Structure 1
Amino acid sequence: VSTYIKNIEESTKETTEVKEEKLLKIYEAAQIEIPEMVKRSLAEVTQFHSELLATRNVRLRNELAKQKRALEEIDSKIVELGSRMDELLDYLNSHGALEEYVALTKQLSSLQNELNRIQEYQKILKTYRENKRRIKEEMIKQDKATDEYLDEESGYLEELRNKYWEYAKRFYPKKKSGLVIKNNTGENLLRYSLEARIEDDSSDGVNEVRMFCFDWLILNCEISKMRFIAHDSRLFANMDPRQRETLFRIVYETCCKKDFQYICTINEDALESFEGIMSTEDYKNIVRDNVILELNDDAPESKLLGIQIDIDLEDKSKVTDDIA
């Protein structure tokens, strides 16, 4: 309404009265001869325009008065409603309703925040479930591909089992042994379940033979460019002398046929334990002629690296500061 009234007031200020004399002067300045007939026509047009403006101004003044009355009524209504709102607020305040309203507003805000957190959690949970389902689908595909591979390579796998079985039988002819290769299904990080077994391999001596057979099988598969294998003296610690003798025979036979190298550290008493089992010539060819370096503990220079190294192989803390 206020904008409408402003527009009416600006319209009433505008005037388009055009004086006849002023118009004639404009034409005379332009040195144009204006006939008397044209002068009479201009006078008539001017009079008509003045009457039109008068009528228009009357209409605008009436409309302006009408809109001002409407504006006064609106202002009066606003004042009345404002006064009524103040009365209601005073009433609510006197009865503690506003405090309750503020408390409810805070509770609503808290519940809205909780709702937002729950919705965000639901999105995360949905993403987690989708990823979990995708991973399960991928694992099923891998399980299927693994089964297909085991079927396709059954001949090669059987050859590996036979090799392992032959090594184990050289050590223990009467014990059951074998190599088990299976698809390791389910939730795990290992694609295959691989078990090299020899009956009674829970004992240290048999377990050491089992480890040697498996390591020697890997070397003989020639799946990499590695052409040697190394074992520490701990491998021979609990072996029976007969198993030690068999181990060195297998190593010697294979290295003579293939371009392999076997490196091991073994204590002198372990070597002497099977010397009587071998013939003098075999012991010389297999053992003595292949001794590359003899180590002892009389000084650090006589050890493998030429220095003293204390390695905690069993993850036991050691205090050496107070040792004399």
Structure 2
Amino acid sequence: MFHQIRSSDERFKTITFKPGRNILIADKTTQSSGTDSRNGAGKSSLIEILHFVLGMGRLTNSVLENAALQSDTFSLQLDWPGVPDSLTASRSLSKRSRVNLAPDVAGDSGLVQIAGSATVTEWTAAIGRDLFGFPVEHAGISARSLLSLYIRRVSQHGMDDPVKTFPNQSMADATTNVAYLLGLDWRLAAGYQELASRESLRQKLKKATKDPAFGLVVGTVSELRGQVAAATVRVRKLEEQVAAFRVVPEYELLQARADEIDAQIRRTRAEDAADRRNLQDLNDALRDEHEPAADYLRRAYRELGIELPDAVLRQYDDVQSFHQSVLANRRSYLEEEAAATAARLDARQAEREHLGEEQAALLRRLRDGGALDAFTALQEQLALARSQLQTLTTRFETARQLEATQAEIKFERSRIQQEVSRDLIEREQHVAEINMLFQRFATALYGPGRDAYIDITALDSNLRISPHIGGRNSQGISKMITFCFDLTYAVLAHRNGRGPDFLVHDSHLFDGVDERQIGEALKLASVVCLEEGMQYIATLNSDDLAKIEQYDASLSQDVIEPRLTDAFSDGGLFGFHFE
């Protein structure tokens, strides 16, 4: 239940609520002219403030958009499950993204941890968890949508339809939230939302295909399926490379040393080639080297019949000895050169083996790892590949949605409709209890002569939840249908731990309604609050109060302070006048 609503502006008229029925009145002052109205007294502004503190997002068409209020902070004191006294939630118009809570709210489930200052998202999540009893998985329902049923906003045309809280709300979304409050299988009803999204996307894509460039941007499913597969393989390979990559310290120095060793090896091999040619020449020279023969002179002169004297022969012997000496010296030189050349070849071979071992070790280190800039480049390639994969996947999903046929969607609709129909048959007793409660409330307003029921039927596009009260279709009856419907789901949800113990109605809900029905409605609200331990808050104009008191003499006892007025300067809720 709500206890109090106040503002940081001292001019604001703090409103204190009590259990049961609460009637906030707007009076018309004696100074008011016939053209004055109480639309500026602040009755609907109270509704806007409640929504704002309870996590409303946008302030579209709200009085709280006014620049004169932007420095204000509004606070709501209310009961909270698990909190012994009460919880105070405060939210500033200048800092709308956060809500201050005292004390802290952190349920035993630990689903949402809310500190003294919580984000609006955390706050609304806690409202769903604690006030509406949301399970952990609750796709299809939201606390904000449900609060818009409990506190209908005239600025959002929240009273134009019993089920919807704003004109553009899809019926599938609206009935899913109502189904939750009524105790129906809201998860099945939520299936309609997913189907509606698919149908909406299909229609948009179908319209987009009229653009000749669309096919180039999106493509076909068959083409994109292969591209997605190839891109997926590339991403996986790059991920494996990144995972296995090891950055080697001083990678560039190691690479430079490996290059230097390779150059040394090539240089020694070039030197070997020259020495091998020289060694071959030396060996050839050694093989061809021999001393000149001198005996042919003796034979030549003997054949001529000339005898050479001994002195001449001795000179020939000296020459021969000289030649032999020269030849021996040359052979020795050639053998020494050949040995030196062979030694150089052996030394370079040993050097190459040593360099080869060092180079192999360096190459192993370089192969097993890489430089930091190489690792960074590899990560960049992976990021680019992932981006390309995401783009292709998006195009593929878009193309697949585009190629989904109406027959497939129709099949899904039929399947969901059958499941919901079977579920309603199984819940027939519960559906009867819903109708009995609604009929009781309608009978209290109009007597037993009118048919009153809630049509709950599985359609192909949504779960239809449509309340009816027999009689001519008038604005007054449609407003009271909403009143009875609100009271029905509020009672059922509260009984079963799926909803809070309050319900708020703006005076606009009673526009065009006969005073007798207003009186009976407010009397019914008082009785239901007493029976169910709930709180009902309604705003009224004072002249309406005078008319309906004849149907409920105790009504004035539930009028709460302060009474608002249409006084131009300070009579309204905010305590000052602003345009």
* TM-score w.r.t. length of structure 1: 0.51
The 1:255/1:242 distance shift into structure 2, 3 A limit, reads same
Does the CA contact (< 8 Å) of 2:453 and 2:469 recur in 1?
A: yes
- Match runs of 1:238-249 below 5 Å: 238-249=512-523
Q: For 2:572, which of 268, 282, 303 is the aligned residue?
A: 303
Offset at 1:262?
0.9
Could you tell me how far apart the structure 2 residues matched to 1:139 and 1:131 are? 13
Does the CA contact (< 8 Å) of 2:490 and 2:499 recur in 1?
A: no
Could you tell me how far apart the structure 2 residues matched to 1:184 and 1:270 are? 41
Q: Which has the larger radius of gyration?
A: 1
Could you tell me how far apart the structure 1 residues matched to 2:401 and 2:490 are? 46
Alignment match, 1:135: 409
Which residue type is aligned with residue 487 of structure 2? W
Alignment match, 2:560: 291
Residue range with higher mean Cα deviation, 205-214 or 232-241: 232-241
Which residue type is aligned with residue 197 of structure 1? H
Could you tell me how far apart the structure 2 residues matched to 1:277 and 1:231 are? 19
The 1:181/1:263 distance shift into structure 2, 3 A limit, reads same
Could you tell me how far apart the structure 2 residues matched to 1:224 and 1:305 are? 34
Could you tell me how far apart the structure 2 residues matched to 1:201 and 1:230 are? 27
Could you tell me how far apart the structure 2 residues matched to 1:303 and 1:154 are? 49
- Match runs of 1:149-298 below 5 Å: 149-173=423-447, 174-185=449-460, 188=461, 191-200=462-471, 202-222=473-493, 224-278=498-552, 283-284=553-554, 286-298=555-567
Does the CA contact (< 8 Å) of 2:491 and 2:532 recur in 1?
A: no
Kindly provide the CA deviation profile for residues 49-90 of structure 1, in whole angstroms up to 9, marking residues without a partner as x.
xxxxxxxxxxxxxxxxxxxxxxxxxxxxxxxxxxxxxxxxxx
Which residue type is aligned with residue 574 of structure 2? L
Which residue type is aligned with residue 183 of structure 1? A
The 1:192/1:166 distance shift into structure 2, 3 A limit, reads same
SS at match of 1:266: strand
Could you tell me how far apart the structure 2 residues matched to 1:195 and 1:274 are? 29
SS at match of 1:239: coil
Does the CA contact (< 8 Å) of 1:201 and 1:210 recur in 2?
A: no
- Match runs of 1:67-146 below 5 Å: 128-130=402-404, 132-146=406-420
Offset at 1:300?
4.4
Offset at 1:239?
2.0
The 1:305/1:219 distance shift into structure 2, 3 A limit, reads farther
SS at match of 1:275: helix
Offset at 1:308?
4.1
Residue range with higher mean Cα deviation, 239-248 or 160-169: 239-248
How many pairs align? Answer: 189
Does the CA contact (< 8 Å) of 1:230 and 1:263 recur in 2?
A: yes
Could you tell me how far apart the structure 2 residues matched to 1:162 and 1:297 are? 42
* TM-score w.r.t. length of structure 2: 0.30
The 1:130/1:248 distance shift into structure 2, 3 A limit, reads closer
Kindly provide the CA deviation profile for residues 84-103 of structure 1, in whole angstroms up to 9, marking residues without a partner as x.
xxxxxxxxxxxxxxxxxxxx
Could you tell me how far apart the structure 2 residues matched to 1:166 and 1:207 are? 17
Residue range with higher mean Cα deviation, 174-183 or 298-307: 298-307
The 1:143/1:273 distance shift into structure 2, 3 A limit, reads same
Which residue type is aligned with residue 303 of structure 1? G
Answer 1 or 2: which has greater strand percent. 2
Offset at 1:218?
1.5
SS at match of 1:304: coil
Could you tell me how far apart the structure 2 residues matched to 1:162 and 1:246 are? 18
The 1:133/1:289 distance shift into structure 2, 3 A limit, reads closer
Alignment match, 1:29: 286
Offset at 1:289?
3.7
SS at match of 1:276: helix
SS at match of 1:175: coil
Could you tell me how far apart the structure 2 residues matched to 1:140 and 1:166 are? 34
Does the CA contact (< 8 Å) of 1:181 and 1:194 recur in 2?
A: yes
Could you tell me how far apart the structure 1 residues matched to 2:414 and 2:426 are? 18
Kindly provide the CA deviation profile for residues 6-65 of structure 1, in whole angstroms up to 9, marking residues without a partner as x.
xxxxxxxxxxxxxxxxx9x966724899xxxxxxxxxxxxxxxxxxxxxxxxxxxxxxxx
Answer 1 or 2: which has greater helix percent. 1
The 1:307/1:200 distance shift into structure 2, 3 A limit, reads farther
Could you tell me how far apart the structure 1 residues matched to 2:531 and 2:578 are? 37
Kindly provide the CA deviation profile for residues 270-304 of structure 1, in whole angstroms up to 9, marking residues without a partner as x.
111122334xxxx23x4324433311111343212
The 1:216/1:308 distance shift into structure 2, 3 A limit, reads farther
The 1:149/1:28 distance shift into structure 2, 3 A limit, reads same
Which residue type is aligned with residue 465 of structure 2? L
SS at match of 1:182: strand
SS at match of 2:477: helix
- Structure 2 stretches lacking a partner, 5+ long: 1-279, 291-397
The 1:232/1:210 distance shift into structure 2, 3 A limit, reads same
Does the CA contact (< 8 Å) of 1:147 and 1:183 recur in 2?
A: yes
Which residue type is aligned with residue 180 of structure 1? D
Does the CA contact (< 8 Å) of 1:201 and 1:207 recur in 2?
A: no
Could you tell me how far apart the structure 2 residues matched to 1:275 and 1:265 are? 15
Q: Report which structure shows greater RCO (CA 8 Å, sep ≥6).
A: 2
Could you tell me how far apart the structure 1 residues matched to 2:436 and 2:509 are? 23
Offset at 1:131?
5.2
CA RMSD of aligned residues (A): 3.0
